[in-house]
Amino acid sequence: MCWFFTALQGYPYWAVTYPSSNICELRGSTVEILCNYKYPSSYTVEKKLWFTTKHNEPVDLRDDTDYTGRVEYSCGEHSCVRNSCTGTCTLIIKVLRQSDSAEYKFRITTNYRGAYSGDPGVKLSVTDIQTEVVIRPSSYTRVQLKCHSMCHSTGLTYTWYINGIRQQVKNGSIWFYINSEYRSSCAVEGSKHLTSPSVYTPKTPSVGWTPPGVIEEGSSVNLTCTSEANPVAKYSWSKVTTGHPPGHTVQGQQLSFHPIQSSDSGQYLCTAKNVLGTKTSSPFSIDVKYGPKHTFVIPSPPGEIMEGGSVTLSCSSDANPAANYTWFRDNQPLPWEPRRPYTLDPVSSKDRGTYRCQAENQYGYVGSNSVFIDVLYAPKTPSVSVRPLGEIKEGGSVTLSCSSDANPAANYTWFREHGGSVEELGENYTISNITTELGGNYYCEARNAVGLQNSTLMFLNVTATPPSPPSSMSTTVAARTVAVLLATMLLVIFLLMRRKRASRKARGQGGRPDTREESPPCPVYYNVSALTNRSASAAQREPIEEQDDPHYASIHISRSKNQEVPRGFAGALVESDQTEQVLYSAINLKRPKAVPE
């Protein structure tokens, strides 16, 4: 044992000596640290203590909570010779811990000039019995364990324990199978409390994540893998792909996502490995929540749909949790269950339009693409109309129009009932200068690739045009004609009467006498009114009656102001602004008796 004497502050009568400056002990054992001291005999020691350099100020170990119940002082009686006094003091620490490794110093306090310490102090190293793993290249199923201590390389006998059960092996090594479930340790023979830490393969790792709770897309997430193992395990991560072995691995105890994406959802494996074996965790699922995206409408079957068929619209969206859907046709919402496809069965022409869906969950919503559903159908019953409205007169122009709801658009042909096609194609059919013969029932035919349909009948009632009223010139000509005819008729009558009178005179002179007396002549009146409105032929057809007794005729002739009066009338004319009147002449008319023609 070596003794070290340290003079305090340059005084020859002050000294602290430590038998050893470095001490190594096993964890769980007891250590004794000894010191010798001296001081001037003229002083009196008031306090003795041991302390460590872990604190800024010296703290008596008996008052340090880290050593409570484990520290004792053993100080001997001091003796004084001449001018100095000497003494000893031993520090005892029981049940050593690895945290007890430190530098320890002794300190005395006297009644003069304060306290004095020895410097440097004693360095204590606390260690375990170590189990060293030795890998043999020729063996792939087992390794060799060796037991040793850093403090005592020789002179110790070791005992082995498997799962706490003492083995009969008393040498410094033992064989251990890789990936076995055993825990192996060694201890100093006769001192079970001086046992090495157990060595074993990693236990099944556990995985945790921070922050806890729901994982939303865009947040930061850290996965941590832990496994009990000795020697300490090393960790790696891999993502599980269904039907394939684990792919790319990431080394480290933590797996971080900054930020996490929806594509990071899936199952992850953590593997813990040391020289004694490997263990893999159960699959850990990451369920990243996010709003809908990539939303599409898919029609089945695609393309054009015939009326009466069936079509199903499916809304597809990437969302977590699954989205609910709202359907729209021509931007108007449709009543439909939130997650079911939209089915049209049977499809009608009313279903034709543009469809889209909107996907929504608690994390957001997004609209889909638009899909146009083109429903093909035959023409519906066409409707016909006529222009102009009202009475159709002969010689006018008439336009018939035909329209029908059809997809694809219909072509139109016009027909006349009982008359066949009128050779007119198109929505409109125009008849110019219509006649009564072109009246009757008309209809149109609407036709497309799907089918055809006829309209109801449209009846055209064409009325004849009445004769035009005479003009002023024709009225004048007619009046003159009537006047001439009347004058001629009166002249003929006058001549006939003279002839008869002449015949009677001849008979009176040479024939039998007339027993009748001649009556005085009586005037004959002819009422000719508004003759200008009658035709000449009508005037000629009027009979001239012969009467036994004469009578008067009153003739009224309507003429224009400067119109000439036909000659041959007996009597005088009285002229006015509008008409001229004929004064009356007495014409004696006698019916001849048996006058030969």
Q: What are the chain's domains?
A: 4-126 (2.60.40.10), 128-195 (2.60.40), 206-286 (2.60.40.10), 295-376 (2.60.40.10), 383-463 (2.60.40.10), 473-505+520-582 (no CATH)
**pLDDT of the chain, 597 residues: tens digit per residue:** 333 333 344 456 788 889 888 888 888 888 999 998 888 888 888 888 899 877 667 888 998 888 989 999 998 877 788 778 888 999 999 998 888 999 999 988 888 767 778 788 899 988 888 888 887 766 678 888 888 777 765 667 888 888 888 887 777 788 888 888 899 988 887 776 778 888 999 999 999 999 989 999 999 999 999 999 999 999 999 998 776 666 678 999 999 999 999 999 999 999 999 999 999 999 999 999 999 999 999 999 888 899 999 999 999 999 999 999 999 999 999 887 777 788 888 998 888 899 999 999 999 999 999 999 999 999 999 999 999 888 888 888 999 999 999 999 999 999 988 877 787 789 999 999 888 888 889 999 999 999 999 999 998 888 887 766 655 565 666 778 888 888 898 888 988 888 888 777 666 555 444 444 444 444 444 343 333 333 333 334 444 344 444 444 444 444 444 444 444 433 333 333 433 344 344 444 444 444 343
The neighbouring-strand residues paired with 357 are 327
Kindly report the pTM of this predicted structure. Answer: 0.53
Distance of alpha carbon 408 from alpha carbon 449, whole angstroms: 7
Distance of alpha carbon 176 from alpha carbon 349, whole angstroms: 82
Render pLDDT for 112-135 as a digit per residue (tens, 0 to 9). 767 778 788 899 988 888 888 887
DSSP for 208-265 reads EEES-S-EETTS-EEEEEE---BSPPEEEEEE-BTTB----EEESSEEEESS--GGG-
DSSP for 258-296 reads SS--GGG-EEEEEEEEETTEEEEPPPEEE-EEEEEEEEE
Phi and psi at residue 313, in whole multiples of 5°?
A: -105, 125
Distance of alpha carbon 286 from alpha carbon 265, whole angstroms: 5
Residue 294 CB burial class (10 angstroms; 0-12, 13-18, ≥19): exposed
DSSP for 147-183 reads EEESS-SSS--EEEEETTEEPS--SSEEEEETT-S--
Q: For the chain, give me the number of helices (H) and strands (E)?
A: 2, 50
Render pLDDT for 434-489 as a digit per residue (tens, 0 to 9). 888 888 899 999 999 999 999 999 988 888 877 666 555 656 667 788 888 888 98
Q: Which two tokens stand for residue 122?
A: 């004693």
Q: Which two tokens stand for residue 487?
A: 């004058």
